[in-house]
Structure 1
């Protein structure tokens, strides 16, 4: 994974996983062993291995010696290390004053994901939203922000759509399951609702979009489950990561057992939903109600 096709965050994740393999898989060291050798806290080593902390040059050199990395493999790790310290700014950097640290982390993962599996209960997935719909949702979800800040967040959502789906040679595969209620809720008023449904009909035909709707008569399948998404990556060194929504904000989920459970849950929801063709029929019928 090089900086030409990845973000700084993902380069750090890839580098960190390579270090973890050397520590536990090759040398069978514990975090305590390595922290003692480097005279630092175990939390620092853990954060470097998870991509949450930059590895210093001094620590990198000590780790290479500690793990007795051969010259042939060290060259590859030097390249990974350099990529993890790349200073080039991602496209969302101009919006740093309105993007939270958690949101920035999510965007970093989404920017290089190959596939997303997303379930929504009451609103439509962000990459499928029109500008007016996104404006209405953001205005309610971020009431403490001023008009300019809300507008900036709407711009970020639009840029995410362009970079990952609409204006790219390598769009992300988007697998969505939503409830029929998400279609019915009149977000932003009648005109915005109609515009959004028309857009949904059109974008659901996109080759990288698989949109399925759970009808009201399957409500027991979906009513007690909160919204979540799972991101997958083509790079085998990068594990899946999921995000769940709660009253306290977005939660990052990366535990293997939790991820397996979410994958099973998404498959169950997709099986309960109508096919993409039948789902478009539901969207069309909902749109006709607006006449």
Structure 2
């Protein structure tokens, strides 16, 4: 092929993205002009991304996923873009986030830390800065992590936001993060969240004891086609689960968890009590 540039995926994330894009294109025997005729980008733009002269973007990745039929698959360009941009995040999490942005319903359970979708900037920055002090992140990576979190929260204020059902272990609201002012603002944010029409907020109290079915954070997503995705993580990595039997089992456990939790009114009352008791 004339002027065909050899690609070196090992040169970096952008080069790896370009090489993957070329593989997807050539697997279908398409030229860059063929692909350009199917999307809103020119063949020159596609060439520049393939050869790592231009960085890919999220809209570019999503549009090409639609054309290639790779939405939500291991070949997804959106997933690769997320991993490239947010490589300092937990393994598997960028794949989950790609699904989260398209979910119509989000169910989650959390321990110790307020869930990211509900964190205030001050709370999120305090957590990120703690990683910097421990040496597990640079300050730039910490700031990128907070910026990424704020982008994710944009899903909650779009025209048709997802239904968001959140269960928090009592430890989430009692563990102080970022000092009294930051924590008070965070607790106020939870009260505001509980007032939204697309929210359900519950606290799993300490006295639930062994009746609490989860010992790790769990997220369950319902997509527009009513299919479901589960995501769970340990300290070391996250895992996206698509197998129906496993997802349904987690959903059943989530329903059992909700049945044992405080009501939303009682949960808000607990948050208010903690907030007022802070010095």
Decide: shared fold, TM above 0.5: yes
Distance 1:115 1:223, change over 3 A: closer
Say whether the 8 Å CA contact 1:95–1:152 is kept in structure 2. no
Structure 2 residue aligned with 1:11: none
Say whether the 8 Å CA contact 1:178–1:213 is kept in structure 2. yes
CA distance in structure 2 between the partners assigned to 1:81 and 1:213 by the alignment = 39
Say whether the 8 Å CA contact 2:123–2:183 is kept in structure 1. yes
The answer to whether structure 1 residue 147 and structure 2 residue 139 are counterparts is yes
Aligned-pair Cα RMSD in Å? 3.0
Secondary structure of 2:161's partner? coil
TM score, norm. by length of structure 2: 0.68
Shift of 1:207: 1.3
Structure 2 residue aligned with 1:253: 241
The answer to whether structure 1 residue 197 and structure 2 residue 187 are counterparts is yes
Gaps of 5+ in 2: 1-22, 31-63
The answer to whether structure 1 residue 287 and structure 2 residue 275 are counterparts is yes
Distance 1:159 1:244, change over 3 A: same
CA distance in structure 2 between the partners assigned to 1:234 and 1:140 by the alignment = 37
Map 1:1-291 to 2 at 5 A.
54=24, 56-58=27-29, 82=67, 84=69, 95-96=85-86, 98-99=88-89, 102-140=92-130, 143-162=135-154, 164-166=155-157, 168-222=158-212, 225-236=215-226, 239-291=227-279
TM score, norm. by length of structure 1: 0.66
Q: Deviations over 1:196-250 (max 9, x none)?
A: 11111112211111110112221322386211101110124xx311111113211
Gaps of 5+ in 1: 1-52, 60-78
Secondary structure of 1:134's partner? helix
Say whether the 8 Å CA contact 1:54–1:85 is kept in structure 2. no
Secondary structure of 1:114's partner? strand
CA distance in structure 1 between the partners assigned to 2:90 and 2:207 by the alignment = 38
CA distance in structure 1 between the partners assigned to 2:190 and 2:114 by the alignment = 9
State the number of aligned residues: 216
Distance 1:81 1:260, change over 3 A: same
